[in-house]
Amino acid sequence: FAPQDTQVPDSGLVRVEDDRTGMSEQSLKRAIVDNLHYGQGKDNYFATPYDYYMAIARSMRDRLIKRRIQTARTHIQEDSKVVYYLSAEFLMGRYTGNSLINLGIYERVRKVLRESGLELDDLLEKEHEPGLGNGGLGRLAACYLDSLATLEIPAVGYGIRYEFGIFEQEIRNGWQAERPDKWLSFGNAWEVSLPEYRTEVKFGGHTESYTDTKGRYQTNWIPEHTVFGIPYDTPIPGYGVNTVNILRLWKAESSNEFDLDAFNAGDYLGAVANKMFSENISKVLYPNDDTVQGKELRLEQQYFFVSCSLQDIIRRHIYHYNSLDNLHEKSAIQLNDTHPSIGIAELMRLLIDVHQMDWEQAWHITQNCFAYTNHTLLPEALERWSVNLFGRLLPRHLEIIYEINFRFLSEVRKRYPGDNERIARLSLIEGEGADKKVRMANLACVGSRKINGVAALHTKLLQQDVLRDFYELAPEKFINKTNGVTPRRWLLLGNPRLSNLITEKIGEAWITNLDELRKLEQFADDPQFRQTWREIKQANKQDLAAYIERKNHIQVDTNSLFDVQVKRLHEYKRQLLNVLHIITLYNRIKRNPNEDILPRTFIFGGKAAPGYFIAKLIIKLINSVAAVVNDDPSLEGRLKVAFLSNYNVSMSQQIYAAAELSEQISTAGKEASGTGNMKFALNGALTIGTLDGANVEIREEVGAENFFLCGLTTPEVYELKAKGYNPQEYYQSNSELQEVIRLIACGHFSDGDSQLFRPLLDSLLYNDKYMLFADYQSYIDTQDRVSQAYRQEDNWTRMSILNTARMGKFSSDRAISEYCKEIWHVEPVPVEFKEYSPEDM
Ligand code: B1H
């Protein structure tokens, strides 16, 4: 076994050989040189590593575009039903490595480059990661696009081409600081703009009614201004197939017509102001995860991309079928949370006002096109727009929503006569008078044929709690779709050492059928296999240790347990509970320097929303504890803490490969699913976790004996809350906990400043909304069990192998197959590859 051997197997997908877009070493080399020359204007003397990266990316894009065209033609020829995945976020990570993998030519390209003294993996790191998402929700959309293409499902991802993605995080003096993410400043080799498909979107103004020539009552929306959306397409290749779908993102540009009017009226500055308004719309991603900010620009963004996308769907449908009557038979539109749910009113408007359909037919089509995925139980994440703001920006949509509501509530009244409280809860409109709100989740439920949660527990809680009234009204609409992650990025690309071992032992079928990993179970007791398994984890840990040394200047012991919590910073995810454990261990060593404590490296990563003060203070605490712990000679290096700044998709790939313990410790009932939990276990980390989200199902799959369970269950959390939770009861009776809190309080980690962390301590001592104190002892006890287990190296390795072997269920291929069968009713459409010939011109 050689640690530097990180080869990825070729998938054997070689279907074309020509000089422009072929896959032979010869044509690859030729393409890269040509793109360097004609794309970057450089030769090997002037070219920088970035130029080489661009040349490789463009060479891959050329190969994908050929297949894209063939895919599009096949979908039209076969009258295929198409899935449209509408999402405000797509957290794609770097494209180029993934494209090489999916085309099956990673190793070949590496070899070709090596012959010229270039290292592929170094060049791939030059790609600026497109961070067009916050966290799990955006990354899920990206995994689903990969699986849709791999399963040969006709699909388009629709979203926003943000000029600035998720901010870049820096740590200054222990605090998070944000910098803009200028991901486009050196150009994007992967996108193709299609200005000929630009789409106009209206905003503001008022509505007028009139009677058309056939005597029908019609409404006209006279906007205050209009904006253009320009589509930018990125190819999405499936693994080992010819299908290449697209991700179509919209960029906002000012509409010239309007500017010209202003110019003609002599209002130069007014025209420029309008241009600025327009182009602001796709400027920046809102950096909140699991909370909403009811800002006007955010609603503008949502309406902008949804309107562009629906007009695009309708344009293509009419072009193909010359009618909209069968729109719902040929399109399945998925709403990724409520962020695109304005689409329900927009499709009604387009069908009724623009295409003169009657209400009943339009409503039938709309309800049968849409399905809605809910991603959260947190009340602060439920989108509600003030009716005032809504009516100002989208006057026609407010009328349509009132009409939908009127018709819906009359049905409800028939079913529950006199049950006014229920009617008020189901209404699309909340409250009275000046602060009335439009409830987007209610709109999404009423306008969709299916509603799904993202893990079994989450779906159950939706039915019992957040969406209970809708469940009682239409139980047949509700369905669970447990999340999944793509094994191509999260194992094959991210952990080449482990992938190679697996393929060597069980063949490569696991790459598209993750259940095949079960075949690893037979090696769980094989000493030789265990040894290799350990060596691979060790090699990955060394790589990560080198990264930590380079970035954080912290030396970590690669024989220590790598205990990792990487995810967005949020109180409910309880990074603070992890910190309480670290300080507990610190105190134990201080109390008894000879105590036999398992050496651990605590690794954290994650961004806090810029306006989320408490989350930012938790980052400061982690870094403050790190500063004290890492430098204390009396610990003899047994505890190290590293906060890795600017956690993103690329960094996460390396972290999952090196992790041994995965921290999934949210308060039960708060994390809808989690997807990091799946990526860790797939890479052989063991989980310490609560019975929350998909943890429940992970534990079921890997077996309770291979999972470290801690904390209250959801019913226990509810019960405790109901009877009146008092953190003091837990605090007063727990001396180890008291010691931890007092150490923070006395300023031990803040140079004697006893005020700095007061807001954290006060919230724990007097409120503790997320019940850290209630779970503290259980968490500590479980961590002690983890330490004992880690010392039994052979058994730990066995558990690690079994975790990987039993992750089949959490492939996004499984999730997407279920969506296809049970929600979208779409079938695979295989794409043949056809050679171009000069006669095709
Ligand atoms: C999830 C969000 C989210 N749930 C609002 N909700 C946002 C809400 O910008 N906003 O306004 C952005 C994101 N994100 C996550 O979705 C859940 O917390 C995870 O548990 C889940 O795994 C993930 C994917 O389903």
In order of their start, the domains of the chain are: 1-77+98-126 (no CATH), 79-94+129-483 (3.40.50.2000), 506-711+772-808 (3.40.50.2000)
Residue 373 CA: nearest ligand 1 atom is 25
pLDDT surpassing 80 at residue 9: no
Q: Which of 376, 384, 568 to mutate to test the pocket of ligand 1 (most atoms within 8 A of CB)?
A: 376
CB of 51 within 6 A of ligand 1: the answer is: no
Q: Is the pLDDT of residue 292 over 70?
A: yes
- Among the listed ranges 12-16, 18-22, 91-95, 598-602, which one has the minimum average pLDDT value? 12-16
Rounded to the nearest whole angstrom, what is the distance from the C-alpha of residue 785 to the centroid of ligand 1?
32
What is the rounded distance in angstroms from the CA atom of residue 537 to the CA atom of residue 558?
10
Q: Which two tokens stand for residue 87?
A: 């999402």
For 6-18, what is the mean pLDDT?
58
The total of other beta-carbon atoms located within 10 Å of residue 613's CB is: 11
User: Which of 290, 297, 458, 570 gets mutated to test ligand 1 (max ligand atoms within 8 A of its CB)?
Assistant: 290
**Residue 10 pLDDT greater than 90, yes or no:** no
Per-residue pLDDT, 425: 97
Q: Indicate the top mutation candidate among 91, 137, 485, 607 to test ligand 1's pocket, ranked by most ligand atoms within 8 A of CB.
A: 137
Q: Residue 839: is its pLDDT beyond 80? A: no
Decide: 483 in ligand 1 pocket, CB within 6 A: yes
Predicted pLDDT of residue 433: 83
Minimum CA distance residue for ligand 1 atom 8: 290
In this prediction, residues 392-418 reach a mean pLDDT of: 98
Which residues are annotated as catalytic? 375, 567-568, 573, 675, 679
pLDDT of 1 above 50? no
**Whether residue 375 has its Cβ less than 6 Å from ligand 1:** yes
SS3 641: strand
How far apart are alpha carbons 727 and 350 in whole angstroms? Answer: 54
Judged by DSSP in three states, 176 sits in strand
| pLDDT tens by residue, 779-807 | 999 999 999 999 999 999 999 999 999 99
The stretch 745-758 carries a mean pLDDT of 98
Confidence of residue 258 (pLDDT cuts 50, 70, 90): low
CA of 711 to the centre of ligand 1 (A): 23
* pLDDT mean over 252-268: 75
The minimum-distance atom of ligand 1 relative to the CA of 454 is 25
Per-residue pLDDT tens over the stretch 150-201: 999 999 999 999 999 999 999 999 999 999 999 999 999 999 999 999 999 9
Residue 837: the pLDDT is 64
pLDDT score, position 207: 98
For residue 808 and ligand 1, the question of a CB distance below 6 A is answered with no
Question: Phi then psi for 254, rounded to 5 degrees?
Answer: -70, 150
Residue 698: which of 814, 817, 807 has the closest Cα?
807
Which pTM does this prediction carry? 0.96
pLDDT digit string (tens) for 110-138? Answer: 999 999 999 999 999 999 999 999 999 99
Which spans in 326-484 are helix H?
327-330, 343-349, 359-369, 387-393, 395-415, 420-426, 440-447, 456-461, 468-473
The helix (run of H) or strand (run of E) holding residue 566 is: strand 561-566
Counting Cβ atoms within 10 Å, is residue 156 exposed (0-12), middle (13-18) or buried (19+)?
A: buried
pLDDT tens column, 205-225: 999 999 998 888 999 999 999
pLDDT, tens digit, 9 for 90 and up, residues 454-473: 999 999 999 999 999 999 99
Task: State the ipTM, two decimals.
Answer: 0.98
Q: Is 125 exposed, middle or buried (0-12, 13-18, 19+ CB in 10 A)?
A: middle
Please provide the average confidence, as pLDDT, over all residues in the chain: 95
Distance of CA 273 from the midpoint of ligand 1 (Å): 34
Supply the pLDDT for residue 2.
Answer: 40
User: Is residue 21 scored above 50 in pLDDT?
Assistant: yes
The pLDDT > 90 percentage for the chain reads 91
Mean pLDDT of 399-419: 98
The pLDDT value recorded for residue 833 is 84
Q: What is the mean pLDDT of residues 672-686?
A: 99
Going from the C-alpha of 474 to that of each of 361, 371, 422, 677, the distances in angstroms are 21, 14, 14, 32
Residue 501 has pLDDT above 70, yes or no: yes
* Per-residue DSSP letter, 725: -
For residue 20, pLDDT over 70 is answered with: no
Residue nearest to atom 5 of ligand 1 (CA): 290
Q: Looking at the CA of residue 339, tell me the nearest atom of ligand 1.
A: 11
- Is 257 a residue whose pLDDT tops 80? no
- Above 70 in pLDDT, residue 309? yes
Per-residue pLDDT, 271: 74
Stretch among 4-8, 356-360, 617-621, 820-824 having the lowest mean pLDDT? 4-8
